[in-house]
Chain A
């Protein structure tokens, strides 16, 4: 049985997006459709990357990232009117890649609603190829990784993504 982290632990991580679920996100099963989890996770990306030194200006200068894999786990349902918050944790990195998790907390119910585990690669958009993180960015990732590695709880990993 997968051990999910405590909400108090997740809520202590950096917050990147908060949203209240609107009726447009609800499907025939009367809960938020799977595509809107990813939509909300995507809304958290700019803040997350900016926290690592990669902001809009950076991405307008020929740098980018390619997402290689997404693994999403869905836990208790999210329904219209509930508020969710997305927090981040870095899981690993290499010269080119970043492995991280977004954790979606349903703040209305106080439960973990979902996780997104993602593997991205830094990219040179002029060449359309993966490329190493510049040193300044790598240092920011390293600092954040060191902090997250000290957390006293395990992230609920899918087990197949590695940077």
Chain B
């Protein structure tokens, strides 16, 4: 399994402290919470390749999530601090394939991963659409950086950009 030290090269996109209301009947962080953390952190991650808040403000450009795979590795407890880091796994002219690592910074272990396949979208036509050239260029740069990491992400194996 990936260790927190291997993730240090990836910036922290979000940091939160676990609250009691985020645990389920069995004392585990709810899946809804894990996905909401990945989603919120995703906006910070997208800015790394030029898709920031101003990009979405036009109301024309957006992104659709096509598939999501959530894997849990270790339980978390109330009061634990979680950090979310993203790795770009691949991209195509319309899509990005990413993994959010939800790290329990208190226990120094990966609590969960969320693997996502997203598509750029035209929000007026409500259809997927290609990345603009300027964004595609930044995706290339970020992918080259992340692809150079000396560890493999624990991908499910069926999501492809």
Contacts and interface: CB of A to CB of B under 8 A. Distances in A.
Contact of A158 (B27, B31, B158): B158
A123 B31 contact: no
Secondary structure of the B side of the interface? Answer: mixed
Contacts of B70: 69-72
A52 interface: no
A8 interface: no
Secondary structure of the A side of the interface? Answer: mixed
Interface stretch (B56-64, B78-86, B139-147): B56-64
Interface residues of B, number: 28
A35 B32 contact: yes
A67 to B, nearest CB: 6
Contacts of B26: 59, 64-66, 123, 125
Nearest to B63: A29
Interface in B107-124: 121, 123
A73 interface: yes
Contact of A38 (B31, B64, B71, B158): B31
A77 B126 contact: yes
B123 A30 contact: yes
Size class of the A contact interface (CB-based, 8 Å)? 20 to 34
A34 interface: yes
B31 A42 contact: yes
A150 interface: no
B121 A29 contact: yes
A83 interface: no
Nearest to B53: A28
Given A158-B156, A160-B157, A67 B62 contact: no
A38 B126 CA distance: 22
Interface of B: 25-28, 30-32, 35-36, 39, 56, 62-72, 121, 123, 126, 156-158
Given A34-B68, A74-B66, 15 more contacts: A29-B56, A29-B123, A31-B64, A33-B39, A36-B32, A67-B72, A69-B70, A71-B68, A71-B156, A72-B68, A74-B65, A74-B68, A77-B64, A125-B26, A160-B158
Ranked 9 nearest A-B pairs via Cβ:
A35-B36, A70-B70, A64-B26, A72-B68, A29-B62, A35-B35, A39-B32, A38-B32, A34-B65
Interface of A: 28-31, 33-36, 38-39, 42, 59, 64-74, 77, 123, 125, 158-160
